[in-house]
Amino acid sequence: MILQAHLHSLCLLMLYLATGYGQEGKFSGPLKPMTFSIYEGQEPSQIIFQFKANPPAVTFELTGETDNIFVIEREGLLYYNRALDRETRSTHNLQVAALDANGIIVEGPVPITIKVKDINDNRPTFLQSKYEGSVRQNSRPGKPFLYVNATDLDDPATPNGQLYYQIVIQLPMINNVMYFQINNKTGAISLTREGSQELNPAKNPSYNLVISVKDMGGQSENSFSDTTSVDIIVTENIWKAPKPVEMVENSTDPHPIKITQYVFYAVAKDEYGKPLSYPLEIHVKVKDINDNPPTCPSPVTVFEVQENERLGNSIGTLTAHDRDEENTANSFLNYRIVEQTPKLPMDGLFLIQTYAGMLQLAKQSLKKQDTPQYNLTIEVSDKDFKTLCFVQINVIDINDQIPIFEKSDYGNLTLAEDTNIGSTILTIQATDADEPFTGSSKILYHIIKGDSEGRLGVDTDPHTNTGYVIIKKPLDFETAAVSNIVFKAENPEPLVFGVKYNASSFAKFTLIVTDVNEAPQFSQHVFQAKVSEDVAIGTKVGNVTAKDPEGLDISYSLRGDTRGWLKIDHVTGEIFSVAPLDREAGSPYRVQVVATEVGGSSLSSVSEFHLILMDVNDNPPRLAKDYTGLFFCHPLSAPGSLIFEATDDDQHLFRGPHFTFSLGSGSLQNDWEVSKINGTHARLSTRHTEFEEREYVVLIRINDGGRPPLEGIVSLPVTFCSCVEGSCFRPAGHQTGIPTVGMAVGILLTTLLVIGIILAVVFIRIKKDKGKDNVESAQASEVKPLRS
């Protein structure tokens, strides 16, 4: 035991000398009252101070609140042998005395104060796992109706104990609008302005909030956190006007009398089944039920954590999924660690945020030699289902080695500016001496200088850490003929404290881009202009611009000007009208513009020019359709009317056409009148019933009320005729183009006479031909020779 004690003292002395504690004044000195500040949780066997003995003192004695943690060696080395815990004792009051060889105090005792400084090693905790409250409809926004409270054992005077409250989830979430808010410092819950206006117990009588609290003032990604649930009941606003009440005078019924009004909605149709009003919209929503369990992102989710990872640091986030409706209790997931394997050096090394799924280091830094891998079983649950997900956490070597390039200068590389996007143009290589295939040795290459346009990128082979430089955007000789590119090789894991990237992690090369003759480039893919359709011929209606990358002159031309409306200045690109424009014939009017370089290879490019023609009132009103066939049954038993429609070809915005109607001649006013129905329809009516049975042509004057106003006079032919079963029957003698009875008889007799003459001629001819045939037959019989 004596030998072991001497060895321990010797080790402490060597550590004391190696760390520089032998310097007089700073880490050593005479016996006097002193105060030391030490962070909790640090490794044990840390030297605090070396007291110097003055003769006859030969040794030292330590008393007070040592808690078997603080020890002083005979030589005066004061140290602690276990990690301190501020939450157990924040201040240790010690006394140190110097003794002579007989153990008699010759100096002191003097007070030695050890103040334990706080680190963030405690997570905040809500005082309740669930809170309940109520709020009245239309309550004033910002007025608290409920408080949530959490505590943190860390020092409240430091960021470690400063708490930050936040609403994580609101259920239900309607139109993605938050109805509730929380004071980040006090935990006071109140309504937002939208909540004050929209909360309605008839629609949603209750809400559920998930509140989180974070330490570090909520400003650090390594904050610890806790969550709680808040159930809120919405009660009806009692400050509102009462419903209308009807009372019967002199009623003897018992009082009070309550009368309820009912409102019904229906679709009305006529006897032919045609609707008399627009149909009512009925929205049917399929209400979600919780019929899908949570699912894990993969069979095993793998994360890495460095040996020296600080408490509270994020290790990774497990994101499970649920196919039920979003932002409802059916898809609201909770995460909980149910098992850690192995439980070395202790259980509960990790924690997971209940609703976010983020894993954090909870109790102490990990050591790979103790356990290189941990396996966690995490329960993910919704309202009704539970699913087990599995997480593998690999403890990796600390990242204390930087990537080192095989060479710092990759020389010059010459490429044509039309080199294809995606081409690999260079291979670079760096190595890292940290543990292979971990985040400490994986290399990511970044271009940090010489490529502000982002034309290049670097892909890394995950097995070899080889970097392949590729073209991401077109190279351009005109803007970047020579670029000095600088690479930086980095690890995804942060370097340990005190280790920094240096020149070995940087490399460069020079990219030289050669010129290639390129076609002119328009400043826009589509040029657009807007003019009135009545502009004078020769008016400038627009212009286009293009540039040649090589600086050559450009000649402009038009293509597709099918109507011959435009011309372009070959030098300036200005476009002019050369003929009357007509919106009604086509707007927008689309043509192509060609830019051709002058000289060189005469390369060209094409852009679009769209000319939007604004309407002017240049089309008089006309009838919307052919109205031949209008009639009244004769004789009229009462004045009648007909409806007709007008239109024109001009553009009508918003309110549509607004025509006015009148008779086209004063002589028609005794027989007819015209009245406007709306902006496009009018009614032509008779003033009496004494009309002849014939056709009348009624002239109608239509004015469009435009700027300037245009009028059109149209003809409506109206026939008065006898009717048979509702249809117009016109007597033959009275119909245009049909002959009278006398004419018809004359035509018939003439036709019969002609037919008789033709028949007589034919009969005589046939009889004449028959007599001729008989004479020829007799003559033939007289000269016929005898047969021998």
Tens-place pLDDT, residues 173-228: 988 999 999 999 999 999 999 999 999 999 999 999 999 999 999 888 788 999 99
Give the pLDDT confidence score for residue 679 in this predicted structure: 84
| Letter string b/e over residues 139-151, b meaning 16 or more CB atoms within 10 A of that residue's CB | beeeebbbebebe
Beta bridge partners of residue 580, listed in sequence order: none
DSSP state for residue 218 in the 8-state scheme = G
Residue 224 and residue 119: Cα distance in Å, rounded? Answer: 12
Answer whether 644's CB lies under 8 Å from 561's CB.
Answer: no
Which residue would you say has higher pLDDT here, 247 or 607? 607
Q: What is the pLDDT of residue 691?
A: 92
* Residue 38 to residue 113: CA distance in whole angstroms: 11
**248: Cα within 13 Å, side-chain hemisphere:** 8
**328-347 mean pLDDT:** 92
Whether residue 736 is predicted with pLDDT greater than 60 in this model: the reply is no
Beta-carbon contacts of 715 under 8 Å, excluding residues fewer than 6 positions away, are 697, 698, 699, 700
If you average pLDDT over residues 538-561, what whole number do you get? 93
Q: What is the pLDDT of residue 247?
A: 57
**What's the pLDDT at 250?**
58
- Which H or E run includes 3? helix 2-18
Phi-psi region of 538 (alpha: psi -120 to 50; beta: other; left: phi over 0): left
Instruction: Write out 729-754 in H/E/C secondary structure.
Output: ECCHHHCCCCCCHHHHHHHHHHHHHH
- The 3-state DSSP class for residue 784 equals coil
Say if residue 427's pLDDT is above 90: yes
Helix (H, G, I), strand (E, B) or coil at 788: coil
Tell me if the bond preceding 33 is cis, omega within 30° of 0: no
Q: Give the per-residue SS3 of 18-29.
A: HCCCCCECCCEE
Report the pLDDT averaged over residues 601-625: 88
The pLDDT assigned to 53 comes to 86
Sequential DSSP letters for 414-444: EEETTPPTT-EEEEEEEE--SSTTSTTT--E
| pLDDT for position 7 | 44
- Across 381-395, average pLDDT: 94
Distance from chain centroid for Cα 574: 40
Tens digits of per-residue pLDDT, 622-656? 998 998 888 999 988 888 899 999 988 777 655 66
Mean predicted confidence (pLDDT) in 28-52: 88
**Residues 46-103: pLDDT tens digits?**
789 999 988 899 999 999 999 999 999 989 999 999 889 999 999 999 999 999 999 9
| Residue pair 616/706 in contact by the 8 Å Cβ criterion | no
765-787 residue pLDDT tens: 776 665 555 534 434 333 333 33
Who contacts 698 (Cβ-Cβ below 8 Å, separation ≥6)? 663, 664, 668, 672, 684, 715, 716, 717, 718
pLDDT band at 343 (very low <50, low <70, confident <90, very high): very high
Residues 6+ apart with CB under 8 A from 603: 517, 518, 519, 520, 596, 597
Going from the C-alpha of 78 to that of each of 29, 90, 134, 401, the distances in angstroms are 12, 18, 59, 35
What are the tens digits of pLDDT across the range 501-541? 999 999 999 999 998 888 899 999 999 999 988 899 999 99
pLDDT reported for residue 585 = 84
At 578 the pLDDT is 95
Q: Which residues, 6 or more positions from 666, have their beta carbon under 8 angstroms from its beta carbon?
A: none
Cα–Cα distance, 479 to 391 (Å, whole number): 50
pTM of the model: 0.47
Q: Which residues pair with 680 in a beta bridge?
A: none
